[in-house]
Amino acid sequence: MGRWSEDRVASAAPDAASLVAARKLARPGPWSGTGSNGDLVWGKCQGSGKTPYQVSVDTVAPAYRCSCPSRKFPCKHALALLLLWARGETAGEGAETAAFASEWAAKRTERAAARTGRPDARPADPAAQAKRLAERTALMDAGVEDFARWLTDLVRTGLAQVRNQPYSWWDAVAARLVDAQLPGLAEQVRAMASDVHARTDWADHLLLHAGRWWALTKAWPRRERLTQDELADLRAAVGWPTPAADVRNTEALPGPWLVLGAHRSDDGRLQQQRTWLQGPDGTVVVVLDFAARGEAFALPQLAGAVLDTTVARYPGSAPRRAMFTSPVAPKAMAHGLGTGGSIAGALAAESAAVAASPWRGRHPVLLAGVRIGSTGQGWLQDSSGQGLPLVDARLDHLLAVTGGHAVEVFGELEDGRLRPLSVVVDGAVVAA
């Protein structure tokens, strides 16, 4: 089942008063421990008492549970949680299911099994599942077609005019994409609204991404012709997640796993942490963690740490997203991150990755013998004289740590700029 739109949430309200009350609660402040995973959405809402209300929603049935005393069904807390989920303001796929939500879902499964005489999981209705899938893909197809028309108008009127557009203009496009079950594209559009006002190279940046978006609108109708990995990358780009439950038992790649670096971002609604890991055979994966605003991440990672754990990988092209499948136990701190390469080699690797999967614009690289320059937002330069501009860099910190010496730097190469995540100084790995 796809993410609901706010209109879909409103249609579930038992009355107008409940919806009005829910909209007042649909903000991060009173909520904690939110998440979604497969069919479930859950969270805790602080009321007037000491103990927060425990809220769980099965979005497929749909079914609702809240520990509050309200007799309305669904109550304002369940509606508020769904509104947060619809806006992407709860922790995303891959979050560990809260115990109270998991217990409620298990009891519902047991009751369903008892009614049907089946000892196994909730009985599935293939016809209903096929109908829901057809409805979602039809909605997505229409959304992609609408987005293609918007791109056509964008080019016809000229890219120069977009810098004069207010943020509400971009938000309106993003809202339509969310309603069309395309949240990944919606986030890219919202990010572009900031980029066109903040970047000096905004015109080139917009042209690059408009080209990628146009290619995506052409690939989506032909998705059945793609390979499994190509389709997985395309689904991730539009925001159709693979449930964690479908990944958890597929494999268990053993460690030790070396933490190459991590980056945290906060868009004001949801925090995300990307943790890059390298396995004993050189395999590189990225683990995504999500937390609602103000909440702590479940698994903070330290650059250079060696983790004793196993991981399973999501479908897609390398480097693939992964999830931990066993308890994470730090073993030691590594001396270095391996053998780095040149900037030219990193750009060549990025080019090959884009050719294989044009929807993915972020690539992990380890560079050797590079120096930090302080011009503008900062630069990296290797021994051949080739350079890369930095982005999201704590320049003063990097200059102080490296002392002007040549070091190894691990980071994310994105649109021709490097986001430094860790540096190696005298064998010690330091977060950038």
Q: What is the pLDDT of residues 316-353, one digit of tens each?
A: 998 999 999 888 888 888 888 988 999 999 999 989 98
Q: How confident is the model at residue 72, as a pLDDT?
A: 86
- % of the chain surpassing 90 pLDDT: 48
Instruction: Give the residue among 366, 280, 279, 286 at the shortest CA–CA distance from 318.
Output: 286
Cβ-Cβ contacts under 8 Å for 175 (sequence gap 6 or more): 186
Distance between first and last Cα of the chain: 39
Q: How confident is the model at residue 88, as a pLDDT?
A: 79
Chain segment 17-33, per-residue pLDDT in tens: 899 999 999 988 888 88
The backbone torsions φ and ψ at residue 85, rounded to the nearest 5 degrees and listed phi first, read -65, -45
Q: How confident is the model at residue 343, as a pLDDT?
A: 94
Chain segment 205-223, per-residue pLDDT in tens: 999 999 999 999 999 999 9
DSSP three-state, residue 422: strand
* Whole-prediction pTM: 0.74
Instruction: Give the residue among 310, 277, 314, 272 at the shortest CA–CA distance from 293.
Output: 272
The neighbour count for residue 25, using CB atoms within 10 Å, is 19
Say whether pLDDT at 312 is over 60: yes
What is the distance, to the nearest Å, from the Cα of residue 78 to the centroid of all Cα atoms in its chain? Answer: 24
Looking at residues 347-364, what average pLDDT do you find?
Answer: 89
Chain segment 387-417, per-residue pLDDT in tens: 999 998 999 999 999 998 999 999 999 988 9
The neighbour count for residue 105, using CB atoms within 10 Å, is 21
Chain segment 34-59, per-residue pLDDT in tens: 888 767 899 999 887 888 999 999 88
Q: How confident is the model at residue 132, as a pLDDT?
A: 79
Cβ–Cβ < 8 Å for 328, 351 = no
Alpha-carbon gap, residue 136 to 235, rounded angstroms: 13
Q: How confident is the model at residue 209, as a pLDDT?
A: 93
In our burial notation (b when 16+ CB lie closer than 10 A, e otherwise), range 41-50 reads bbbbbeeeee
With vertex at residue 203, the alpha carbon angle to CA 202 and CA 205, rounded to the nearest 5 degrees, is 60
Q: How confident is the model at residue 140, as a pLDDT?
A: 93
**Exposed (0-12), middle (13-18) or buried (19+): which is 106, by Cβ within 10 Å?**
exposed
Looking at residues 75-103, what average pLDDT do you find?
Answer: 82
CATH number of 343-431: 2.40.50
The top-scoring range by mean pLDDT among 126-135, 243-252, 273-282 is 273-282
The dihedral sign for the CA sequence 222, 86, 54, 264? positive
Cβ–Cβ < 8 Å for 97, 298 = no
Cβ–Cβ < 8 Å for 398, 378 = yes
Please provide the DSSP assignment of 31-86 as one string.
EEEEEEETTEEEEEE--SSSSPEEEEEETTTTEEEESS---SSS-HHHHHHHHHHH
Q: How confident is the model at residue 271, as a pLDDT?
A: 75
Looking at residues 158-186, what average pLDDT do you find?
Answer: 89
Say whether pLDDT at 290 is over 70: yes
Say whether pLDDT at 134 is over 80: yes
Alpha-carbon gap, residue 212 to 84, rounded angstroms: 29
- % of the chain surpassing 70 pLDDT: 91
Cβ–Cβ < 8 Å for 41, 98 = no
Q: What are the sequence ranges of the domains in the chain?
A: 6-116, 126-238, 245-333, 343-431
Cβ-Cβ contacts under 8 Å for 364 (sequence gap 6 or more): 260, 276, 284, 286, 319, 410, 411, 412, 413
DSSP for residue 223 = G
Alpha-carbon gap, residue 201 to 325, rounded angstroms: 42
Chain segment 296-309, per-residue pLDDT in tens: 666 666 889 999 99
Say whether pLDDT at 113 is over 70: no
The neighbour count for residue 308, using CB atoms within 10 Å, is 15
Looking at residues 83-92, what average pLDDT do you find?
Answer: 80
Instruction: Give the residue among 350, 305, 348, 412 at the shortest CA–CA distance from 420.
Output: 412
Say whether pLDDT at 114 is over 70: no
